[in-house]
Chains A and B, each alone.
Chain A
Amino acid sequence: MSIGHTLLGLLESGPRHGYDLKRTFDEKFGQDRPLHYGQVYSTMSRLLKNGLVEVDGVESEGGPERKRYAITDAGITDVTQWLAQPEKPEPYLQSTLYTKVVLALLTDRSAADLLDAQRSAHLRMMRILTDRKRKGDLADQLICDHALFHLEADLRWLELTAARLDQLAKVVAP
Protein backbone atom coordinates (compact mmCIF):
# COMPACT_ATOMS: atom_id res chain seq x y z
CA MET A 1 0.00 0.00 0.00
CA SER A 2 1.33 3.39 -0.88
CA ILE A 3 1.41 5.41 2.35
CA GLY A 4 2.33 8.57 0.46
CA HIS A 5 -0.76 8.45 -1.73
CA THR A 6 -2.96 7.55 1.20
CA LEU A 7 -1.75 10.52 3.25
CA LEU A 8 -2.12 12.79 0.24
CA GLY A 9 -5.69 11.57 -0.17
CA LEU A 10 -6.46 12.28 3.47
CA LEU A 11 -5.15 15.84 3.03
CA GLU A 12 -7.62 16.48 0.23
CA SER A 13 -10.44 17.09 2.70
CA GLY A 14 -8.41 19.90 4.35
CA PRO A 15 -5.01 20.83 5.87
CA ARG A 16 -3.89 18.68 8.84
CA HIS A 17 -1.04 18.33 11.35
CA GLY A 18 1.26 15.36 11.03
CA TYR A 19 -0.06 13.79 14.22
CA ASP A 20 -3.63 14.31 13.07
CA LEU A 21 -2.75 12.53 9.82
CA LYS A 22 -1.31 9.52 11.68
CA ARG A 23 -4.43 9.20 13.89
CA THR A 24 -6.84 9.34 10.95
CA PHE A 25 -4.75 6.83 9.02
CA ASP A 26 -4.68 4.38 11.96
CA GLU A 27 -8.38 4.75 12.49
CA LYS A 28 -9.36 4.02 8.94
CA PHE A 29 -6.75 1.64 7.58
CA GLY A 30 -4.25 0.68 10.22
CA GLN A 31 -6.17 -1.75 12.44
CA ASP A 32 -3.42 -4.31 12.21
CA ARG A 33 -0.37 -2.11 11.72
CA PRO A 34 -0.45 1.47 13.12
CA LEU A 35 1.95 3.98 11.47
CA HIS A 36 5.03 5.19 13.31
CA TYR A 37 5.22 8.89 13.60
CA GLY A 38 8.68 8.72 11.97
CA GLN A 39 7.09 7.18 8.90
CA VAL A 40 4.66 10.07 8.65
CA TYR A 41 7.46 12.59 9.08
CA SER A 42 9.72 11.08 6.40
CA THR A 43 6.83 10.62 3.96
CA MET A 44 5.70 14.22 4.40
CA SER A 45 9.17 15.60 3.77
CA ARG A 46 9.40 13.54 0.57
CA LEU A 47 5.99 14.88 -0.58
CA LEU A 48 7.10 18.44 0.33
CA LYS A 49 10.25 18.02 -1.67
CA ASN A 50 8.25 16.83 -4.71
CA GLY A 51 5.91 19.80 -4.43
CA LEU A 52 2.81 17.68 -3.81
CA VAL A 53 2.15 19.29 -0.41
CA GLU A 54 3.04 22.62 1.12
CA VAL A 55 3.31 23.85 4.67
CA ASP A 56 0.13 25.72 5.52
CA GLY A 57 1.31 27.08 8.81
CA VAL A 58 3.32 26.36 11.93
CA GLU A 59 1.88 26.21 15.46
CA SER A 60 3.67 25.96 18.73
CA GLU A 61 1.28 26.23 21.64
CA GLY A 62 3.57 25.57 24.57
CA GLY A 63 5.17 22.52 22.97
CA PRO A 64 7.19 21.46 19.98
CA GLU A 65 6.36 23.29 16.83
CA ARG A 66 3.88 21.49 14.61
CA LYS A 67 3.59 21.95 10.86
CA ARG A 68 0.24 22.02 9.19
CA TYR A 69 0.29 20.47 5.73
CA ALA A 70 -1.98 21.25 2.75
CA ILE A 71 -2.24 19.48 -0.57
CA THR A 72 -1.12 21.28 -3.75
CA ASP A 73 -2.75 21.10 -7.19
CA ALA A 74 0.03 18.74 -8.29
CA GLY A 75 -0.80 16.61 -5.27
CA ILE A 76 -4.47 16.42 -6.24
CA THR A 77 -3.51 15.38 -9.77
CA ASP A 78 -1.21 12.76 -8.30
CA VAL A 79 -3.98 11.26 -6.11
CA THR A 80 -6.38 11.24 -9.06
CA GLN A 81 -3.84 9.40 -11.19
CA TRP A 82 -3.15 6.87 -8.44
CA LEU A 83 -6.83 6.06 -7.91
CA ALA A 84 -7.46 5.71 -11.61
CA GLN A 85 -4.50 3.38 -12.06
CA PRO A 86 -5.66 -0.26 -11.47
CA GLU A 87 -3.53 -2.22 -9.01
CA LYS A 88 -1.45 -4.83 -10.64
CA PRO A 89 -3.09 -8.22 -9.91
CA GLU A 90 -0.86 -10.29 -7.69
CA PRO A 91 0.17 -13.34 -9.74
CA TYR A 92 1.15 -15.44 -6.68
CA LEU A 93 3.60 -17.40 -8.75
CA GLN A 94 6.28 -17.61 -6.07
CA SER A 95 4.48 -19.75 -3.53
CA THR A 96 6.25 -20.99 -0.41
CA LEU A 97 3.60 -23.64 -0.02
CA TYR A 98 4.28 -25.07 -3.45
CA THR A 99 7.96 -25.18 -2.68
CA LYS A 100 7.31 -27.01 0.58
CA VAL A 101 5.09 -29.60 -1.12
CA VAL A 102 7.64 -30.34 -3.82
CA LEU A 103 10.43 -30.60 -1.28
CA ALA A 104 8.40 -32.99 0.84
CA LEU A 105 7.81 -35.15 -2.21
CA LEU A 106 11.48 -35.08 -3.18
CA THR A 107 12.58 -36.03 0.32
CA ASP A 108 9.96 -38.72 0.83
CA ARG A 109 8.26 -36.84 3.58
CA SER A 110 4.45 -36.87 3.76
CA ALA A 111 3.15 -34.08 1.56
CA ALA A 112 -0.39 -34.97 2.52
CA ASP A 113 0.28 -34.31 6.20
CA LEU A 114 1.88 -31.04 5.30
CA LEU A 115 -1.15 -30.01 3.30
CA ASP A 116 -3.56 -31.12 6.03
CA ALA A 117 -1.66 -29.18 8.65
CA GLN A 118 -1.73 -26.12 6.43
CA ARG A 119 -5.45 -26.57 5.80
CA SER A 120 -6.05 -26.78 9.48
CA ALA A 121 -4.05 -23.63 10.12
CA HIS A 122 -5.93 -21.80 7.39
CA LEU A 123 -9.26 -22.90 8.77
CA ARG A 124 -8.29 -21.82 12.24
CA MET A 125 -7.42 -18.40 10.92
CA MET A 126 -10.67 -18.26 9.00
CA ARG A 127 -12.59 -19.18 12.12
CA ILE A 128 -10.88 -16.35 14.03
CA LEU A 129 -11.61 -13.85 11.25
CA THR A 130 -15.23 -15.04 11.05
CA ASP A 131 -15.59 -14.53 14.76
CA ARG A 132 -14.12 -11.04 14.56
CA LYS A 133 -16.30 -10.23 11.60
CA ARG A 134 -19.36 -11.27 13.56
CA LYS A 135 -18.53 -8.95 16.38
CA GLY A 136 -17.17 -6.03 14.33
CA ASP A 137 -18.67 -3.21 12.33
CA LEU A 138 -19.00 -2.95 8.57
CA ALA A 139 -15.37 -1.88 8.11
CA ASP A 140 -14.26 -4.90 10.11
CA GLN A 141 -16.50 -7.13 8.09
CA LEU A 142 -15.15 -5.89 4.78
CA ILE A 143 -11.57 -6.21 5.82
CA CYS A 144 -12.13 -9.69 7.27
CA ASP A 145 -14.02 -10.76 4.18
CA HIS A 146 -11.09 -9.71 2.02
CA ALA A 147 -8.82 -11.88 4.05
CA LEU A 148 -11.34 -14.73 4.22
CA PHE A 149 -11.71 -14.83 0.48
CA HIS A 150 -7.94 -15.02 0.07
CA LEU A 151 -7.67 -17.74 2.65
CA GLU A 152 -10.48 -19.61 0.99
CA ALA A 153 -8.65 -19.41 -2.30
CA ASP A 154 -5.59 -20.86 -0.61
CA LEU A 155 -7.70 -23.61 0.89
CA ARG A 156 -9.10 -24.52 -2.48
CA TRP A 157 -5.60 -24.75 -3.80
CA LEU A 158 -4.65 -26.97 -0.86
CA GLU A 159 -7.59 -29.26 -1.55
CA LEU A 160 -6.86 -29.41 -5.26
CA THR A 161 -3.21 -30.17 -4.62
CA ALA A 162 -4.12 -32.84 -2.07
CA ALA A 163 -6.29 -34.48 -4.70
CA ARG A 164 -3.44 -34.36 -7.24
CA LEU A 165 -0.56 -35.36 -5.01
CA ASP A 166 -0.06 -38.70 -6.73
CA GLN A 167 0.14 -37.06 -10.13
CA LEU A 168 2.53 -34.44 -8.83
CA ALA A 169 4.76 -37.05 -7.24
CA LYS A 170 5.19 -38.73 -10.61
CA VAL A 171 6.21 -35.47 -12.24
CA VAL A 172 8.49 -34.21 -9.47
CA ALA A 173 10.19 -37.44 -8.41
CA PRO A 174 9.93 -39.94 -11.22
Chain B
Amino acid sequence: MIPDGSLLAAHDLRKTYGSTPALDGASFSVHPGEVVAVMGPSGSGKSTLLHCLAGIITPDSGTITYAGRELSAMPDAERSALRRSDFGFVFQFGQLVPELTCVENVALPLRLNGVRRKAAERTALEWMERLEVDDLGAQRPGEVSGGQGQRVAVARALAGSPKVIFADEPTGALDSLNGERVMELLTEAARSANVAVVLVTHEARVAAYSDRDVTVRDGRARDLEHAV
Protein backbone atom coordinates (compact mmCIF):
# COMPACT_ATOMS: atom_id res chain seq x y z
CA MET B 1 0.00 0.00 0.00
CA ILE B 2 2.02 2.94 -1.19
CA PRO B 3 0.16 6.23 -0.89
CA ASP B 4 0.07 8.25 -4.07
CA GLY B 5 2.63 11.01 -4.48
CA SER B 6 4.77 9.88 -1.61
CA LEU B 7 8.54 10.33 -1.88
CA LEU B 8 9.51 7.64 0.58
CA ALA B 9 7.18 4.91 1.71
CA ALA B 10 7.54 1.76 3.73
CA HIS B 11 5.08 -1.08 3.94
CA ASP B 12 4.84 -3.79 6.59
CA LEU B 13 8.43 -3.57 7.84
CA ARG B 14 9.67 -6.24 10.20
CA LYS B 15 13.01 -6.28 11.92
CA THR B 16 14.21 -8.42 14.82
CA TYR B 17 17.34 -7.97 16.89
CA GLY B 18 18.11 -11.33 18.40
CA SER B 19 14.75 -12.41 19.73
CA THR B 20 13.40 -8.90 20.37
CA PRO B 21 11.21 -7.56 17.60
CA ALA B 22 12.03 -3.91 16.93
CA LEU B 23 9.64 -3.47 14.04
CA ASP B 24 6.54 -5.56 13.70
CA GLY B 25 4.64 -4.61 10.60
CA ALA B 26 5.32 -0.88 10.46
CA SER B 27 4.15 1.24 7.53
CA PHE B 28 5.03 4.81 6.82
CA SER B 29 5.12 7.42 4.09
CA VAL B 30 6.37 10.94 3.58
CA HIS B 31 5.68 13.37 0.74
CA PRO B 32 8.17 15.75 -0.82
CA GLY B 33 8.73 18.73 1.43
CA GLU B 34 6.66 17.27 4.25
CA VAL B 35 7.82 17.25 7.85
CA VAL B 36 6.67 14.08 9.61
CA ALA B 37 7.30 13.43 13.28
CA VAL B 38 7.79 9.84 14.38
CA MET B 39 6.81 9.62 18.02
CA GLY B 40 6.57 6.92 20.59
CA PRO B 41 8.00 5.79 23.91
CA SER B 42 11.62 4.74 24.09
CA GLY B 43 12.28 1.25 22.84
CA SER B 44 9.22 1.37 20.59
CA GLY B 45 11.28 1.01 17.43
CA LYS B 46 11.38 4.66 16.27
CA SER B 47 15.10 4.66 15.58
CA THR B 48 14.97 1.28 13.90
CA LEU B 49 12.25 2.60 11.61
CA LEU B 50 14.39 5.62 10.77
CA HIS B 51 17.46 3.46 10.10
CA CYS B 52 15.43 1.22 7.81
CA LEU B 53 13.90 4.15 5.95
CA ALA B 54 17.34 5.66 5.43
CA GLY B 55 18.73 2.38 4.14
CA ILE B 56 21.29 2.18 6.92
CA ILE B 57 19.96 -1.22 7.89
CA THR B 58 17.82 -3.59 5.88
CA PRO B 59 14.51 -4.86 7.30
CA ASP B 60 13.94 -8.59 7.63
CA SER B 61 10.84 -8.24 5.51
CA GLY B 62 8.66 -5.53 3.99
CA THR B 63 9.30 -3.00 1.26
CA ILE B 64 10.75 0.49 1.23
CA THR B 65 10.26 2.58 -1.86
CA TYR B 66 12.14 5.79 -2.51
CA ALA B 67 11.26 7.83 -5.60
CA GLY B 68 9.96 4.74 -7.32
CA ARG B 69 12.99 2.62 -6.49
CA GLU B 70 12.93 -0.40 -4.22
CA LEU B 71 15.37 0.56 -1.44
CA SER B 72 15.24 -2.77 0.35
CA ALA B 73 16.46 -4.60 -2.78
CA MET B 74 19.51 -2.39 -3.36
CA PRO B 75 23.01 -3.61 -2.61
CA ASP B 76 24.91 -1.87 0.15
CA ALA B 77 27.08 0.22 -2.18
CA GLU B 78 24.05 1.58 -3.99
CA ARG B 79 22.29 2.44 -0.76
CA SER B 80 25.42 4.20 0.46
CA ALA B 81 25.53 6.18 -2.75
CA LEU B 82 21.86 7.10 -2.31
CA ARG B 83 22.51 8.24 1.25
CA ARG B 84 25.36 10.40 0.00
CA SER B 85 23.35 12.01 -2.76
CA ASP B 86 19.72 12.17 -1.58
CA PHE B 87 19.63 11.94 2.21
CA GLY B 88 20.83 14.11 5.04
CA PHE B 89 21.23 13.19 8.69
CA VAL B 90 21.04 14.89 12.06
CA PHE B 91 21.64 12.86 15.20
CA GLN B 92 21.33 13.59 18.86
CA PHE B 93 25.07 13.95 19.56
CA GLY B 94 28.56 12.91 18.56
CA GLN B 95 28.04 13.35 14.87
CA LEU B 96 30.55 16.06 14.04
CA VAL B 97 34.05 14.88 13.19
CA PRO B 98 36.00 16.42 16.07
CA GLU B 99 39.22 17.06 14.16
CA LEU B 100 37.57 18.85 11.24
CA THR B 101 36.58 22.50 11.55
CA CYS B 102 32.88 23.30 11.51
CA VAL B 103 32.88 24.44 7.90
CA GLU B 104 34.76 21.30 6.88
CA ASN B 105 32.19 19.23 8.72
CA VAL B 106 29.38 20.95 6.85
CA ALA B 107 31.21 20.50 3.57
CA LEU B 108 31.82 16.80 4.24
CA PRO B 109 28.68 15.38 2.51
CA LEU B 110 29.40 17.48 -0.55
CA ARG B 111 33.00 16.34 -0.63
CA LEU B 112 31.97 12.72 -0.22
CA ASN B 113 29.84 13.33 -3.29
CA GLY B 114 32.87 14.46 -5.20
CA VAL B 115 32.45 18.24 -5.02
CA ARG B 116 35.77 20.09 -5.00
CA ARG B 117 36.92 21.49 -1.68
CA LYS B 118 36.61 25.21 -2.46
CA ALA B 119 33.14 24.91 -3.93
CA ALA B 120 31.98 22.60 -1.15
CA GLU B 121 33.17 24.97 1.56
CA ARG B 122 31.55 27.93 -0.15
CA THR B 123 28.20 26.16 -0.20
CA ALA B 124 28.79 25.03 3.37
CA LEU B 125 29.31 28.62 4.50
CA GLU B 126 26.07 29.71 2.85
CA TRP B 127 24.14 27.09 4.79
CA MET B 128 25.94 28.00 7.99
CA GLU B 129 24.85 31.57 7.42
CA ARG B 130 21.23 30.44 7.12
CA LEU B 131 21.57 28.60 10.40
CA GLU B 132 23.26 31.62 11.98
CA VAL B 133 26.54 29.81 12.71
CA ASP B 134 28.70 31.22 9.91
CA ASP B 135 31.00 32.83 12.47
CA LEU B 136 32.03 29.38 13.72
CA GLY B 137 33.54 28.26 10.44
CA ALA B 138 37.14 27.93 11.56
CA GLN B 139 36.35 26.47 14.97
CA ARG B 140 36.41 22.82 15.84
CA PRO B 141 33.27 21.11 17.19
CA GLY B 142 34.87 20.78 20.61
CA GLU B 143 35.04 24.56 20.86
CA VAL B 144 31.37 25.34 20.21
CA SER B 145 28.30 24.95 22.40
CA GLY B 146 25.82 22.11 22.08
CA GLY B 147 23.20 24.25 20.36
CA GLN B 148 25.72 25.67 17.93
CA GLY B 149 27.07 22.21 17.20
CA GLN B 150 23.57 20.96 16.49
CA ARG B 151 22.99 23.85 14.11
CA VAL B 152 26.22 22.99 12.37
CA ALA B 153 24.90 19.44 12.08
CA VAL B 154 21.65 20.73 10.59
CA ALA B 155 23.62 22.84 8.13
CA ARG B 156 25.58 19.75 7.22
CA ALA B 157 22.41 17.74 6.66
CA LEU B 158 21.09 20.47 4.35
CA ALA B 159 24.35 21.27 2.58
CA GLY B 160 24.27 18.23 0.31
CA SER B 161 20.89 19.43 -1.05
CA PRO B 162 19.16 16.21 -0.01
CA LYS B 163 15.57 15.23 -0.75
CA VAL B 164 15.00 13.79 2.71
CA ILE B 165 16.55 14.66 6.04
CA PHE B 166 16.48 12.07 8.77
CA ALA B 167 16.65 13.66 12.19
CA ASP B 168 16.96 11.31 15.17
CA GLU B 169 16.20 13.21 18.38
CA PRO B 170 17.98 16.28 17.01
CA THR B 171 17.21 18.30 20.15
CA GLY B 172 17.65 15.50 22.64
CA ALA B 173 20.78 16.96 24.15
CA LEU B 174 19.68 20.59 24.13
CA ASP B 175 17.71 22.80 26.51
CA SER B 176 14.24 23.81 25.34
CA LEU B 177 15.24 27.28 24.10
CA ASN B 178 18.14 25.95 21.99
CA GLY B 179 16.12 22.94 20.95
CA GLU B 180 13.26 25.05 19.66
CA ARG B 181 15.59 27.33 17.78
CA VAL B 182 17.22 24.36 16.09
CA MET B 183 13.80 22.95 15.18
CA GLU B 184 12.63 26.28 13.89
CA LEU B 185 15.70 26.68 11.67
CA LEU B 186 15.56 23.07 10.51
CA THR B 187 11.89 23.06 9.52
CA GLU B 188 12.05 26.52 8.00
CA ALA B 189 15.05 25.66 5.86
CA ALA B 190 13.60 22.29 4.90
CA ARG B 191 10.25 23.78 3.90
CA SER B 192 11.80 26.54 1.84
CA ALA B 193 14.07 24.03 0.05
CA ASN B 194 11.20 21.53 -0.33
CA VAL B 195 13.10 18.90 1.64
CA ALA B 196 11.12 16.19 3.41
CA VAL B 197 12.03 15.63 7.06
CA VAL B 198 11.58 12.44 9.02
CA LEU B 199 11.84 13.57 12.60
CA VAL B 200 12.18 10.99 15.34
CA THR B 201 11.41 12.44 18.75
CA HIS B 202 9.67 11.63 21.99
CA GLU B 203 9.03 15.29 22.81
CA ALA B 204 5.62 16.60 21.83
CA ARG B 205 6.82 20.18 21.61
CA VAL B 206 9.46 19.12 19.08
CA ALA B 207 6.93 17.04 17.20
CA ALA B 208 4.70 20.12 17.04
CA TYR B 209 7.05 21.55 14.41
CA SER B 210 5.92 18.83 12.02
CA ASP B 211 3.10 18.81 9.51
CA ARG B 212 1.97 15.39 10.61
CA ASP B 213 2.86 12.84 13.23
CA VAL B 214 3.11 9.09 13.31
CA THR B 215 3.21 7.10 16.52
CA VAL B 216 5.24 3.93 16.83
CA ARG B 217 4.05 1.57 19.50
CA ASP B 218 5.39 -1.97 19.94
CA GLY B 219 7.04 -1.87 16.56
CA ARG B 220 3.91 -0.75 14.70
CA ALA B 221 3.55 2.68 13.23
CA ARG B 222 0.13 4.35 13.41
CA ASP B 223 -0.82 7.37 11.46
CA LEU B 224 -3.30 8.94 13.86
CA GLU B 225 -4.19 11.83 11.60
CA HIS B 226 -5.56 9.38 9.12
CA ALA B 227 -7.11 7.14 11.72
CA VAL B 228 -9.24 9.91 13.14
Residue positions of A touching B, CB distance < 8 A: 116-117, 119-120, 122-123, 126-127, 129-130, 134, 148-149, 151-152, 155-156, 159, 163
Chief secondary structure at chain B's binding surface:
mixed
User: Is B225 close to A, CB under 8 A?
Assistant: yes
With a cutoff of 8 Å between Cβ atoms, the chain A residues found around residue B203 in the complex are: 152
A117, A120, A148: the one within 8 Å of B208 (CB) = A148
- Which chain B residues (191-228) contact chain A, with CB distance < 8 Å? 203-205, 207-211, 213, 215, 222, 224-225, 227-228
- Which chain B residues (30-78) contact chain A, with CB distance < 8 Å? 41
A116, A134, A152: the one within 8 Å of B204 (CB) = A152
B205, B213, B215, B222: the one within 8 Å of A148 (CB) = B205
Q: Is the CB of B41 within 8 A of A120?
A: no
Closest approach, in angstroms, between the C-beta of A65 and any C-beta of chain B?
50
Q: Is the CB of B224 within 8 A of A129?
A: no
A47 to B76 CA separation, bound complex (whole angstroms): 77
With a cutoff of 8 Å between Cβ atoms, the chain B residues found around residue A117 in the complex are: 224, 228
User: Is B184 close to A, CB under 8 A?
Assistant: yes
- Which chain B residues (130-173) contact chain A, with CB distance < 8 Å? none
Q: Is the CB of B228 within 8 A of A123?
A: no
With a cutoff of 8 Å between Cβ atoms, the chain B residues found around residue A130 in the complex are: 205, 208-209
A160 to B228 CA separation, bound complex (whole angstroms): 21
> How many chain B residues touch the partner (CB < 8 A)?
18
Q: Is the CB of A129 within 8 A of B227?
A: no
B41, B188, B208, B222: the one within 8 Å of A123 (CB) = B208
Given A117-B224, A123-B204, A127-B211, list of 15 further CB < 8 A pairs? A116-B224, A117-B228, A119-B224, A120-B224, A120-B228, A122-B204, A126-B205, A129-B208, A134-B184, A134-B188, A148-B205, A148-B208, A149-B205, A155-B204, A163-B41
Closest approach, in angstroms, between the C-beta of A140 and any C-beta of chain B?
14
Closest approach, in angstroms, between the C-beta of B128 and any C-beta of chain A?
21
A122 to B224 CA separation, bound complex (whole angstroms): 12
